[in-house]
C-alpha cells in the first residue's frame, strides 16, 4: 500500500497533470453534466455489535477485460471501471463551470479555514479545477484561530467571502447578527436534499435559516495503536471501558506507559480533552443526558457530568498513565500526539483522536502503512449491552458575501465532484455526500471510519461544538485546568455552571 505522504503528493501531482491535460485538450463545457441518480438510503436496521477492525489488505482491483459477447451476438455490457484522475478532474471542472452559471466569470474569492500542511494541499487540489474552469482565483488563508479572525473581521465590516466553521455555536453567533447568507437562496435545495442526510441540513440551520453547508466530517472516539506492537505483547482490543483501564494498568505494571494525550491547539487548546469527556458522557450516561448537557438543561455539577470528569481523571490524573507527564500533555500540539506510538521502543501504546489523525500520522511517519503499521478501534462502551455509539465532528461552510464568485464557490464545494477529490487523496477526510462511495477512499482506515458512521446505532455531533461559543471556550479552558490540577474539579465545574447560566 502506498505511503500517505508520498501518496498525497503523488496524487496531487497526478491531479495537476490531469488538470493541465484537460485544460489543453478539452474545451470547457458550457452546461452541467446530467445529474446521476443518488444512491439508495442506508439500511435502517443497525448492527448489534461493534464493527471489527478493518482488514489490512486493499480490495482487489476491477477486472481489466470485458466478458465475451452473449451467444445471440448482442453486446455484453462492459464492467464498471472506476474513473481515472483525469476524468475526475474533468467532472469537477464541469461542476465548477455549472456553479458559475456556465461562464468563466473571473475575479477572486476569499476563504478562511483551519487547514494547513497536507490538509491545505488537499484542499488546494479540490479548488484548482474550480479556478481553471471559472477563472476565479481562490485566496485561501489557513489558521487554527478561525473564530478569532472572523470575529475581528466581521466586527470591522470586512468579512471574508466564505469561512469554515467547526462549531455550530460560532455559526449561531454570526447568524444572530445577520452576517451570514441564507444558503437556501443560493443552493439547489432539491439536490442538497437528495445528496445529504437531513441531519446535516438540520445542523446548518440556525433559527430556521440554512446558513451552513456540510463539507467534511470526521469519526471521533478512535483509539489509535500499532498493531505489530500489540501483537508482540499479546494485547487485545478491550470490549469495555473497564477492560481498557485493566489493559492500561497491566501495561504500567510491565513498565510501560499506556497513553499519549496532547491538547495544544493554539487559541483552541483543550479541545482534544473535550472529545474524551464527550465519549465518556455518551457511553456512561446515555444519549438523553448527552443531549441535555450540550443543550444546557443539565448542570455541569450534576452527578452524571461530574462522574464523567472523574472517570477521565483515572487516566489524565494518573502520571503513570501519561507519556511525558502533564507538561507534555499541555504543551504538545495534538497533531504530533500519536508519534510516540511508533518509536522504538514505543513511548506509549494508545492515543485517542478522530479519523483525521491518519493524515497527521503519515505526514510525520511516511514509511508507515495504514492498517498494517497503525490502526484504530472504536472507543469502548461501559457495558457490552450498550448500543454502538459514535461521535462525529464536521466542517461547515458559511458565506458572508453575495458576490457571484462566492456563490459559485459554495455551489461547487457542495458537489460530490468537488468533495470526491479530497476523498481520493484521503488523510482521514470523510464526505457526508451520499454520492461518494466508501471505495473512493484510498486506504482501508478511511473506509473503516466511514463504515463506523453508517453502522453505528447512535450517532451524535460533537457536544462542545454544539454549545454556545462562550460555553465552548470555557469548556476548553476547564480541560486545561483539570489536567493541571485534577483536585480542583469542584471549582472547575462550578465555574462552568456560572458560564452556562449566562451563555444560553
Ordered structural domains, the chain, with CATH: 4-24+86-219+392-454 (3.40.190.10), 222-353+468-503 (3.40.190.10)
Q: Which is nearest to 167 in space by CA: 478, 476, 466? A: 466
Q: What is the pLDDT of residue 81?
A: 66
On the question of pLDDT at 40 being above 70, the answer is: no
In the chain, pLDDT over 70 holds for what percent of residues? 84
Residue with cell 495537476: 16
Q: What is the pLDDT of residue 50?
A: 34
Cα dihedral across residues 44, 45, 51, 57: positive or negative: negative
In the structure, what pLDDT confidence band is assigned to residue 426 with cuts at 50, 70 and 90?
A: confident
Which contiguous run of DSSP H or E holds residue 136?
A: none
On the question of pLDDT at 147 being above 90, the answer is: no
Q: Is the pTM higher than 0.85? A: no
In the structure, what pLDDT confidence band is assigned to residue 51 with cuts at 50, 70 and 90?
A: very low
Query: What is the per-residue pLDDT across 245-259, written as a single tens digit (0 to 9) for each?
Result: 999 999 999 999 999
On the question of pLDDT at 477 being above 60, the answer is: yes
**Residue 499 forms beta bridges with which residues?**
none
Over the chain, what is the mean pLDDT? 85
Q: What are phi and psi of 369, to 5 degrees?
A: -105, 120
Give the relative orientation of helices 85-99 and 404-413 as an angle to the nearest 10 degrees: 140
Whether the Cβ atoms of residue 422 and residue 126 lie closer than 8 Å to each other: yes
* Ranges of H-type helices in 357-415: 357-364, 404-413
Query: What is the per-residue pLDDT across 354-404, written as a single tens digit (0 to 9) for each?
Result: 999 999 999 999 999 999 999 999 999 999 899 999 999 989 999 999 999
Integer Cα distance of 313 and 135 in angstroms = 54
Whether the Cβ atoms of residue 104 and residue 133 lie closer than 8 Å to each other: yes
Which contiguous run of DSSP H or E holds residue 377?
A: strand 375-378
Amino acid at each position: 500500500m502506498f505511503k500517505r505522504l508520498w501518496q498525497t503528493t503523488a496524487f496531487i501531482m497526478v491531479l495537476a497533470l490531469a488538470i493541465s491535460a484537460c485544460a489543453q485538450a478539452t474545451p470547457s463545457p458550457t452546461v452541467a453534466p446530467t445529474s446521476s441518480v443518488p444512491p439508495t438510503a442506508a439500511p435502517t436496521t443497525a448492527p448489534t455489535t461493534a464493527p471489527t477492525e478493518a482488514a489490512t489488505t486493499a480490495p482487489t482491483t476491477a477486472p481489466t477485460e470485458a466478458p465475451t459477447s452473449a451467444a445471440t451476438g448482442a453486446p455484453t455490457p462492459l464492467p464498471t471501471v472506476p474513473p481515472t484522475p483525469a476524468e475526475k478532474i474533468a467532472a469537477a471542472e464541469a461542476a465548477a463551470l455549472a456553479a458559475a452559471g456556465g461562464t468563466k466569470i473571473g475575479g477572486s474569492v476569499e476563504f478562511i479555514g483551519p487547514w494547513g500542511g497536507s490538509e491545505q494541499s488537499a484542499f488546494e487540489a479540490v479548488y484548482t479545477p474550480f479556478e481553471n474552469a471559472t477563472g476565479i482565483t481562490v485566496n485561501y488563508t489557513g489558521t487554527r484561530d478561525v473564530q478569532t479572525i472572523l470575529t475581528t473581521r466581521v466586527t470591522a465590516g470586512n468579512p471574508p467571502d466564505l469561512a469554515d466553521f467547526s462549531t455550530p455555536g460560532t455559526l449561531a453567533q454570526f447568524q444572530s447578527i445577520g452576517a451570514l447568507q441564507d444558503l437556501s437562496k443560493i443552493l439547489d435545495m432539491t439536490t442538497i436534499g437528495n445528496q445529504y442526510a437531513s441531519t446535516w441540513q438540520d445542523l446548518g440551520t440556525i433559527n430556521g435559516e440554512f446558513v451552513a453547508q456540510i463539507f467534511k466530517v470526521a469519526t471521533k472516539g478512535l483509539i489509535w495503536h500499532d498493531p505489530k506492537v500489540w501483537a508482540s505483547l499479546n494485547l487485545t482490543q478491550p470490549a469495555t471501558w473497564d477492560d481498557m483501564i485493566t489493559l492500561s494498568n497491566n501495561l504500567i505494571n510491565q513498565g510501560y506507559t499506556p497513553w499519549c494525550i496532547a491538547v495544544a491547539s493554539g487559541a483552541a487548546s483543550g479541545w482534544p480533552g473535550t472529545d474524551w469527556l464527550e465519549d465518556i458522557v455518551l457511553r456512561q450516561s446515555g444519549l438523553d443526558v448527552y443531549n441535555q448537557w450540550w443543550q444546557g438543561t443539565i448542570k455541569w455539577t450534576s452527578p452524571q457530568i461530574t462522574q464523567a470528569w472523574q472517570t477521565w481523571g483515572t487516566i489524565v490524573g494518573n502520571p503513570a498513565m501519561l507519556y511525558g507527564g502533564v507538561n507534555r500533555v499541555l504543551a504538545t500540539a495534538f497533531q504530533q500526539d500519536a508519534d510516540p506510538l511508533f518509536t522504538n521502543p514505543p513511548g506509549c501504546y494508545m492515543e485517542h483522536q478522530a479519523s483525521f489523525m491518519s493524515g497527521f500520522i503519515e505526514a510525520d511517519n511516511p514509511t508507515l502503512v495504514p492498517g498494517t503499521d497503525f490502526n484504530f478501534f472504536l472507543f469502548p462502551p461501559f457495558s457490552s449491552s450498550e448500543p454502538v455509539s459514535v461521535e462525529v465532528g464536521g466542517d461547515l461552510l458559511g458565506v458572508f458575501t453575495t458576490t457571484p464568485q462566492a456563490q459559485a464557490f459554495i455551489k461547487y464545494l457542495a458537489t460530490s465532484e468537488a468533495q470526491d477529490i479530497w476523498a481520493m487523496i484521503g488523510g482521514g477526510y470523510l464526505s457526508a455526500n451520499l454520492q461518494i462511495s466508501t471505495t473512493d477512499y484510498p486506504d482501508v482506515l478511511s473506509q473503516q471510519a466511514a463504515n463506523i458512521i453508517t453502522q453505528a446505532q447512535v450517532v451524535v455531533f460533537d457536544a462542545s461544538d454544539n454549545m454556545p461559543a462562550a460555553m465552548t471556550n470555557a469548556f476548553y479552558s476547564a480541560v486545561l485546568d483539570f489536567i493541571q490540577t485534577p483536585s480542583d474539579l469542584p471549582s472547575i465545574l462550578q465555574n462552568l455552571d456560572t458560564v452556562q447560566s449566562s451563555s444560553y
